[in-house]
Structure 1
Amino acid sequence: MSTGSDYPALMTARRATVWLRRVAVHLGAMHLSGALLVLTFLVTPGWVDAYGAAPADDPTADLPPVMILLGALFGCVTFHVVVQIPAGLLGSWLGRRGGVLVSYAVAVAAAAALTLVFLWGVVGVADAAELTALWLDYMARAAVALAGYVGLTSALRPRPARPFPGVEG
């Protein structure tokens, strides 16, 4: 029985190393895109500005500002896990043969669809104008963060070895 190598354990270890490297690259890219997403919230979304507009008899008017920030952070983490990570993985997997721009386009397209499902199905935004405004806000933030994800995974993607010109192998 021939396995294609005299040392099958060496080939298994090499495959495991390649697999672990790929996992490490994607984990690093996920953390980078999450950090970029959080940094995009330095530009506050419009719905945070509406915090002080609540009437005095509204029970949510007594909500401390830290709860607004925690809510935004929870929404950011949820969006990252539900939309960004799957879109980044899908973009880097489907676009791996087409280059960086194809990977980015696939990731943004997947994020656009997942964001719409997230806002409409999970968050429960039913008003079309509000849904459009939130979708555009989240997509602008996701596009920046996905650029970091796809850029890092593309930069660290293993390339096939090419022989030197004029050298016969």
Structure 2
Amino acid sequence: MHLSGALLALTFLVPPAWALDAYGAAPAGDPTADVPPFMIFLAALLACVTFHVMVQIPSGLLGSWLGRNRGALVSYAFALTVAGTLTLAFLWGVLRVGNIAELTDLWVDFMARGSLALAGYVGLTSLWARPSRPA
């Protein structure tokens, strides 16, 4: 899981669209700005950690368990299916994103980042857990 968390954190080097929108919303010298610029970075970091714990770890474990002995692509497909469902449930149920356009944008952003990290995790677990052949 450390590999997938590190890969997920690296995907946040390209900032999400919502962070770029929030960063450009107020002028730099405006003392009445609602959110200081470092809070946007902190929100992106919190989003990364929350997504990793609530979506990526369960979907990686469940996907590799459901796809065991079936190959890496099947495990990856299971992991992506679980991740897509958990991401949708998290965005809609926990964060209360009600606007369909905003929900779709956030879901696509998190799934694009998560799919890269899950590919690294499932690839590593499929290499690691190769069954040994009897002599």
Would you say same fold, with TM above 0.5? yes
Runs of 4+ in 1 over 6 A off after TM superposition: none
CA–CA distance in structure 1, aligned partners of residues 79 and 34 of structure 2: 40
The answer to whether residue 21 in structure 2 is matched with residue 43 in structure 1 is no
Mapped partners of 1:132, 1:37: distance in 2: 19
Report the secondary structure of 1:35's partner residue: helix
Instruction: Give me the whole-angstrom Cα distance separating, in 2, the residues matched to 1:49 and 1:158.
Output: 43
The amino acid across from 2:83 in the alignment is A
Cα deviations across residues 2-60 of structure 1 (Å, max 9, x unaligned)? xxxxxxxxxxxxxxxxxxxxxxxxxxxx11000000100111111011122248xxx98
RMSD of aligned alpha carbons: 2.0
* Deviation at residue 66 of structure 1 after TM alignment: 1.2
* Unaligned 5+ runs, structure 1: 1-29, 164-169
Paired position in structure 2 for 1:10: none
**Residue in structure 2 matched with residue 31 of structure 1 by the alignment:** 2
Residue 62 of structure 2 corresponds to: 90
Query: TM-score normalized by structure 2?
Result: 0.91
Pick the structure with greater CA Rg. 1
* TM-score using structure 1 length: 0.74
2:41 to 69, 94, 104: 69
Q: Measure the CA separation in 1 of the matches of 2:109 and 2:16.
A: 7
Matches within 5 A, 1:105-144: 105-144=77-116
| Separation of aligned partners in 1, 2:26 and 2:101 | 20
Q: Deviations over 1:117-169 (max 9, x none)?
A: 01001111000000001000000001000001101111110412233xxxxxx
Number of residue equivalences: 133
Gaps of 5+ in 2: none
In 2: Cα distance, 1:117 partner to 1:72 partner: 19
Deviation, 1:61, is 2.2
Identity %: 66
